[in-house]
Amino acid sequence: MTGRMLRMEQTTKKRTKAPARNWNFTHPLSQDELREIPIHAPLSIKQETFLNDTEHDVMVFGGSAGAGKTQLTLLKILCGAMWDKNYVASISRFSQKQIKMPGGMWATGTSMLTPLGVAPNRTELSWTFPSGAEVKSHHLDNNQSDYQGAQLTLAVVDEAQQCREDDVWYLTSRLRTKSKQKTQLVLTCNPDVNSFLCSWLVKAGYLDETGLPREDMDGKTTFMLQIGGRFEFYRTRKEIEELYGKEQASFAQKFVFYAANVYSNPYIRKFQPEYVHRLENLPAVERSRLLLGNWFAKSEGQGYVKEENFNKCSLADVPLKCPSVRAYDLAGTKPHAANRDPDWTRGVLCSYDKENTHFYIKNLKSLRDNSAAVQSLIETTAIQDGKDVYVSIPVDSGAAGKTVAEQKKSRLLSLGLKVLLEPARASKLVRAEGFLRAVQEGKVYVVDGALSKEDFKEIENFDGVKNNGFHDDLIDALASAYNTLVSGNLIPTIRIGGASGPHYKTRLGGSTLLH
């Protein structure tokens, strides 16, 4: 049966007797022929609830492998598009290559929908339904401009945990339609501790302290509100109203998480038991993530260090008169439509106690802006740090990189500051090796408030692989600071007092005829 589950209601009104009907089929079907007819329908209460949900603005479904995310999402689209000419939907994934992968939503949907009269356009990756409804698949990464002007009834993001929060949220601005159906943002996902979705689910209270979905919150409504660029979650609109007033409360989005796994998908359990067996026998971390839906599960091999490897301390715990450097990793691009997540300029202030070989991370400056703004940040910060602190500037390969670095050095020297130029002579991993080893040995201390949770995540995700999907600007700056300080090549600041100082004459070589 295709379409939403309908319930026939009896009526108490008296009706005139209907004429007898002839229930004889002209062309009766055999059982074998009936078996060949595909039936698209929800197979569990959870699947039916998700499929029939026209209440929530933002819906998250899944959270583990084998939950039926692809089939149910396609069925939801089919229910909306088959008889509504004004229905328009988009299916988004992180990259265009992922959309075209065999077994993905585009390939599966084309196979499922074509026999129902849906016309696929393999060039545009779109489907046109007999009703006139349109559905298009497109990539989302740094690609908001392609969605400008779209008027969507339904926006689906498949494997949403791979996408960026601002790209996903941008789609809500496209949810406007001539259709009378409710506009919705639907996100399907698998667990990823580093994704924005994990943060959302934690804030909304859908996960317990171990990262597993809470049964008592499964399918429960919460309210989502963007305040000052941050997303906050509340149990009721009344809470928002008390904090921000009725108008802000009215803007809150109704949010829900349906935690589904392979055990809530009867089809897989019955017809593909070997798949369930494979999930149940995965290595511990992947089993926890893909079978049980644990959002905090993370392989030790995903990075060299974790946040708990760092020691925490106060600024008062940092020994005085230790050599200090603020080391930079430079970038010069502001976020824009074509690149919503460019590299950061990172400037990290660190000190090193050579007596006990402890390394201290004291402060971090971060900026994503043009080169002029970056130069201003470097100069202003250097003046604030004081003339005792060295400034380390990276030198990019090539003549142009050397010229830019020398220009920055000259400007800082003109301000009376101490400057070092650090050429990049080795791979990122080789340069970071000393710092990472110090972290593993418990010799790195972080001053309270110096690094945020997001900063630690960036460090944790560093695996030495170029373009692994995560930023490595901070680890580059930290490696530079560590290598500079432990080398022992910094010249200490030498102060000579004024002429009235008691040791002035001896510092100049003793008395003179005039004294």
Where in the chain are the domains? 38-300, 307-486
**Tokens at residue 317, please?**
């715990």
Strands 444-447 and 418-423 turn out to be unpaired
* Global pTM value: 0.60
Which numeric CATH code is attached to 38-300? Answer: 3.40.50.300
Q: Given phi > 0 = left and psi -120 to 50 = alpha, else beta, which region is 293?
A: left
Dist. CA 127–CA 124, nearest whole Å:
9
User: What pLDDT is attached to residue 27?
Assistant: 58
Nearest-5° angle of CA 142, CA 144, CA 150? 155
Helix (H/G/I), strand (E/B), else coil: 78: helix
User: What pLDDT is attached to residue 468?
Assistant: 57
- Asked whether the beta carbons of 477 and 328 are under 8 A apart, the reply is yes
User: What pLDDT is attached to residue 513?
Assistant: 36
Q: Each residue's pLDDT tens digit in the chain (515 positions)? A: 444 433 334 444 455 555 555 545 455 677 787 777 888 889 999 999 999 999 999 999 998 999 999 999 999 999 999 999 999 999 999 988 899 888 889 999 999 999 999 999 999 999 999 999 999 999 998 888 889 889 999 999 999 999 999 999 999 999 999 999 999 999 999 999 888 999 999 999 999 988 999 999 999 999 999 988 889 999 999 999 999 999 999 999 999 999 999 999 999 999 999 999 999 998 888 899 999 999 988 765 567 888 999 999 999 999 988 999 999 999 988 887 666 678 899 999 999 999 999 999 999 999 999 999 999 999 999 999 999 999 999 998 777 778 888 999 999 999 999 999 988 766 788 889 999 999 999 999 999 999 998 899 889 888 776 655 678 899 999 999 999 999 877 766 555 454 455 444 444 444 333 33
Which numeric CATH code is attached to 307-486? Answer: 3.30.420.280
**Tokens at residue 479, please?**
């490696």
User: What pLDDT is attached to residue 36?
Assistant: 78
- Asked whether the beta carbons of 294 and 284 are under 8 A apart, the reply is no
User: What pLDDT is attached to residue 465?
Assistant: 65
